[in-house]
Structure formats: C-alpha cells, structure tokens
Structure 1
Amino acid sequence: MPPQRRQINRGPAAAAENRAAILAAARRVFAAQGYHVPLYKIAREAGVGQGVLYRHFPDRLALAFAVFEENFAELREIAAREEDRTLEELWGRLLELTITDAAFVEMFVDARRATADYDGAERLAALLEPALDRARRAGRVSRDLTTADLVLAHRMVFGVVVTSEDEDAARVAVAAAVSLVPSLPSSPKDHR
C-alpha cells in the first residue's frame, strides 16, 4: 500500500486562491440557501477551513459585501454606457440580479440595520440617476419618474421575490408587479 500523501499547508501562498474560492462558494451558497446560511457551509463548499474563511472575512456582512461588490461592478459598467437604452438595460439587470441573487438584497437590508454608514441605497440611486435622466430627456419614460420611485419599485420587487415559492414563480410575479406601474422602464427583453 503506497504511503498517503499529506496535504501541505501552503499558508500565505494560497491566500489569493483561497479568497477567490471563498467568494465563488459564497455566491453559489448564498444564492441557493439564502443570506443567513451557516458560514461553515460556505467554507466547506470552498474547500477551506472556517479559520481560513474568517481570516479573509471576519463576519457574514464582510463576506456578503465582497461578493455583492461584483454585482455593483457589473451594474456600474452598464450604467457607464451612454447608449439609448442604458436605463432599460440597467433596470432589467437589476431585476434579474434581485431574482437570482435575492440573498444580496437581504444583505443590503441587514447592512442598513447593522452599519450606520452603509451607503448601498445611495450608491444604487447614483447608478440609476444619470441613465434615468437620459431616458426622461429622450421621452422613453415619464418625466415624473424619479430615482426614488425606481428604488421604491426595486424594494417592492424584492418583497415579491422573497415571498415567491421558487425562481420561476418569482419571475412571473415580478413581471406582473412591474407591469402594474406603467411609468417604470421596460427591460430590453420586453422588446425582442
């Protein structure tokens, strides 16, 4: 019988690889099981010990923020486009992320409660405002539609998502809810 190979602890040399594995695992596990999933499940999914997870991310909120930043980066990239339908693309992607990554909206809510200086809502509004302004000037949405209206509509969509039985039901309910507010932008998918 050949001798068993011991796994060598690579220590700091594996830090970047471990961090990436934790972030990827967190995205999958949060999406599948929700924001309040035990963190040991994320560590196990990433193939690291809990101590490694906590060295990189001291708590659930820090981990969720790191993963959520990837979503914000994607939304920032869309918002930076100065194309004709930027608002519609941005709104459509925001709705999609809310449906598929509802755990991160839960994180948003927890962050607002736990962190006095958390600026997530303001950051979201800052992403939406320039695209909304262009859409209003082009006549694609009502001149009366405000960024605050979009943020409120997003909060309503989140409520629909978290009370739906599954993702398919959430998609149907979100489409129905959004259609009740005619001044909201339609997503690009609605025009294909």
Structure 2
Amino acid sequence: MSSPSARPNRGPAAGPGNRRALIDAARRIYAETGLSAPFTSVARAAGVGQGSLYRHFPDRTSLEVAIFQETLAAFRADIADERIGLDALFTAVAGEPVLSTVFVQMIRDSKDAEVVEIADGYQEALSLLLTRDIARGRVRADVDVDDVIHAASMLAGELTAVPLEDRPAAASRVRRLIDAALAAR
C-alpha cells in the first residue's frame, strides 16, 4: 500500500508532461540564478525525480538546448511581422536578462552541433531585424550582427548587475545608449 502523499506512477504517459515541467522549471531557475544552479534543483522544482530529469536531459547542455530551441522558435514567430525591428530583441533581452546572458554565453562558447545550429538561427533572425532597421533608416549601414549581439549582451549584463526593482530604469538608460550608438546619421 502506498503512502497518501505518494503520487501514482503514470509510466510513459507522464513523459511529455514531465519534459514540459523540466523545461519550464529550468527556465525559471536559470532566469533567476544562471546556469550555476544545481542540475538536481531543476528536477525538484519540476516535481519529478532525478531519473526523469536524466531520461529527458542526460546532461546540462541538452536541457539548455531544449530551452533555447523554444526561445528561438518563439522569437522567430514574434519577428515574422515585417514591422518588427531590433527593438523586439532589446525588449526580449530586458525582459529576461539573466537567461539572455546565459544564451549569449552558451552560443559563443559551445561547439556542440545543436548549439551551433541555434546560434546560426539566432544570427539569421538578428540579420533579418538588422536589415529591416537599416532599410528604414533606423540603424547605420555599417552595423553588423556581431555589433547587435554585443549590444544585447551589454544590456543583459548591465541588467543582471542591478536589483530587480531598478531594472526598468537601467534598461531605459542602456537602451538610450544603444539606440544612439546604432542610429543612422
């Protein structure tokens, strides 16, 4: 007889829900503390066992890849509207600065094939936004994707260094500097 608090084992049927819970928990934890959070804390926050964590994500990189594949897919969907420019990127970074810092660090440092694919997709999306903003006269023609990545990284880095309640004001200040630096002359 099981104890009253024990959850019934749903077997393979629980797989998709557990995977979703793990990704959501990791996104929350990494957004608060970065990638240094203990891997086991993700399982705990998702309400699943470590076996389930390792079954879905055998290592930290595979979990990060899953998070950032979803992030990139959502970003691509958001920028499908032709009216969207680089402002969408900087708004997204300001909304999740810790996760954005982790993302940029991961795509810069990893040689994992899936991470390289995400990095290529990210650069392709940024190139589209940059091309739109250059064509509209919002951004100088000599600005390239690496410049945009550096600007996003600076924004995220600055916001992770200030208390949560000060982030909106800090984001506004940094955004003004970035806008001025990239602006068409």
Q: Are 2:100 and 2:153, in contact at CA under 8 Å, matched by a contact in 1?
A: no
Partners of 1:77 and 1:31 in 2: how far apart?
A: 21
Alignment partner of 1:128 is 2:126: yes
Give the TM-score taking structure 1 as reference length: 0.78
Distance 2:169 2:123 in 1: 26
**1:45 matched residue in structure 2:** 45
Tell me if structure 2 keeps the 8 A contact 1:26–1:42.
yes
SS at 1:180's partner residue? helix
Q: Quote the residue 1:109 is aligned against.
A: 105
SS of corresponding position for 2:174: helix
**What is the distance in 2 between the residues matched to 1:77 and 1:63?**
22
Q: Which moved more, 1:6-15 or 1:112-121?
A: 112-121
Superposition map of 1:1-192 within 5 A: 4-5=3-4, 7-83=7-83, 86-99=84-97, 102-110=98-106, 112-117=108-113, 118-119=115-116, 120-162=118-160, 164-181=161-178, 182-184=180-182
CA RMSD of aligned residues (A): 2.5
CA offsets, 1:55-113, max 9 Å, x none? 00011121122122222112101222212xx11442233323442xx135325424543
For 2:13, give the aligned amino acid: A
C-alpha distance in 1, partners of 2:65/2:165?
26
Judging changes above 3 Å, is the alpha-carbon distance between structure 1 residues 80 and 13 closer, same or farther for their aligned structure 2 residues? Answer: same
Partner Cα separation in structure 1 for residue 94 and residue 174 of structure 2? 14
CA shift at 1:28, angstroms?
Answer: 1.6
Structure-2 separation of matches of 1:93 and 1:69: 19
Structure 2 vs 1, CA of residues 113 and 129 (structure 1 numbering), >3 Å: closer, same or farther? Answer: closer
Shift of residue 4, structure 1, vs aligned partner = 4.3
Assess if the C-alpha contact under 8 Å between 2:22 and 2:43 holds in 1: yes
Distance 2:48 2:75 in 1: 30
Alignment coverage as a number of residue pairs: 178
Structure 1 residue runs of 4+, over 4 Å off? 3-6
Over 3 Å counting, the alpha-carbon distance change for 1:45 and 1:7 in structure 2 is same
Structure 1, unmatched stretches of 5+, are 186-192
**Percent identity (aligned):** 31
| Contact 1:68–1:104, Cα closer than 8 Å, also in 2 | no
Residue identity matched to 1:166: P
8 Å contact from structure 2 (residues 94, 171) kept in 1: no
The amino acid across from 1:75 in the alignment is F
Residue 173 of structure 1: CA displacement?
A: 3.0
